[in-house]
Amino acid sequence: MAAMFEVFWRFLLLGCVSFGGPAAHIGYFQQTFVQRLQWLTAADYARLVALSQFLPGPGSSQVGFALGYRRAGLPGALAAFVGFTLPSFLLMLGLALFAAQAADAAWLNGLVRGLKLLAAVVVAEAVRSMAQTFCRHWFAAVLALATCLLLVWSASAWMQYGVLVCAALLGAVVLPARAVQPARPKGVTSGLRWRPLVVFLLLFALLPWLGGLGAEWRLVDQFYNSGSLVFGGGHVVLPLLQQQLGDALSEDRFLLGYAAAQAVPGPMFSLGAFLGAELLPVRPVLG
């Protein structure tokens, strides 16, 4: 129990000061848990970061979850996730509640326009940064350009999912594989855990059916679906989430939340707190 509270406190402090996005969060985690507290070795930490890049969803939050798990098991993993996310969740929820009450204020409209410009700059910088990281091979650059042109031509949800699958298959066949030296860190088994995988697939299959039961279930389905298909971090979630939500939320409100998520500490997926409160105005905290 003491280890779980230690994990929660450490991640809560980081959640209050970790500005700069996922790449910066990885650096904060390394300084705190590898260099200062020595919870794990640098090699073990590098493997956790590499694994987070392979999985969909928020990379830095996954690394934090794994660090909490190594320290205090499943309770520690949940404590790390809640502690790191709580500050940004409260800030984004507060923004949604305040923006709803002051929707007609002239100064707020000016702020929204300014944040929309900030969002455009942030997205452009994210594209440039990811291009430098992931498009080092000529075929990867061609694949990215072709994907961009296809999505400009048709930005439907099925087109986005189809492009993801095709790009992954073509990349696996054409792009050269990088040799990785096998190693097993302490406390980590090599067996495949089937139970979490089965739960993940069941939720992915059943939530679209449960979405017909009400707005709350539909919201869960939309966010679970987006989180299951987003590779590359928070910036990649923007087009998928916007496509999922459709006309349920105006573009201005979506960009307001997206831009505000850049200005708060913690994971950028805290955008979900803002969007949920906007989509369920009667019960914003539940959203």
In a domain, 169, yes or no: yes
- 28 with 143, same domain: the answer is no
In a domain, 180, yes or no: no
Looking at the predicted structure, is the pLDDT value of residue 199 above 60?
yes
- 17 with 138, same domain: the answer is no
pTM across the whole model: 0.69
- 81 with 116, same domain: the answer is no
- 218 with 258, same domain: the answer is yes
pLDDT band at 183 (very low <50, low <70, confident <90, very high): very low
* 119/143: higher pLDDT: 143
- 218 with 111, same domain: the answer is yes
- 83 with 211, same domain: the answer is no
* 239/228: higher pLDDT: 228
Q: How many domains, in total, are found in the chain? A: 2
- 128 with 242, same domain: the answer is yes
In a domain, 94, yes or no: no
- 74 with 113, same domain: the answer is no
State which residues form the domain around 227.
107-175+187-279
What value does the mean pLDDT take over residues 230-238? 65
CA dist 4 and 69 (Å) reads: 9
**pLDDT at residue number 6:** 93
In a domain, 21, yes or no: yes
pLDDT band at 9 (very low <50, low <70, confident <90, very high): very high
pLDDT digits (tens, 9 = 90+) for 15-45: 888 877 777 788 888 888 988 888 988 888 8
- 33 with 149, same domain: the answer is no
* Contacts for 69 with CB less than 8 Å, ≥ 6 apart: 76, 77, 80
- 117 with 60, same domain: the answer is no
- 44 with 148, same domain: the answer is no
- 113 with 83, same domain: the answer is no
Looking at the predicted structure, is the pLDDT value of residue 235 above 60?
yes
Percent of the chain with pLDDT over 90: 11
pLDDT band at 115 (very low <50, low <70, confident <90, very high): low
Mapped to the 3 state alphabet, what secondary structure does the chain carry? CHHHHHHHHHHHHHHHHCCCCHHHHHHHHHHHHHHHCCCCCHHHHHHHHHHHHHCCCCHHHHHHHHHHHHHHHHHHHHHHHHHHHHHHHHHHHHHHHHHHHCCCCHHHHHHHHHHHHHHHHHHHHHHHHHHHHHCCCHHHHHHHHHHHHHHHHCCCHHHHHHHHHHHHHHHHHHCCCCCCCCCCCCCCCCCCCHHHHHHHHHHHHHHHHHHHHCHHHHHHHHHHHHHHHCCCCHHHHHHHHHHHHHHHCCHHHHHHHHHHHHHCCCCHHHHHHHHHHHHCCCCCCCC
In a domain, 287, yes or no: no
pLDDT band at 64 (very low <50, low <70, confident <90, very high): very high
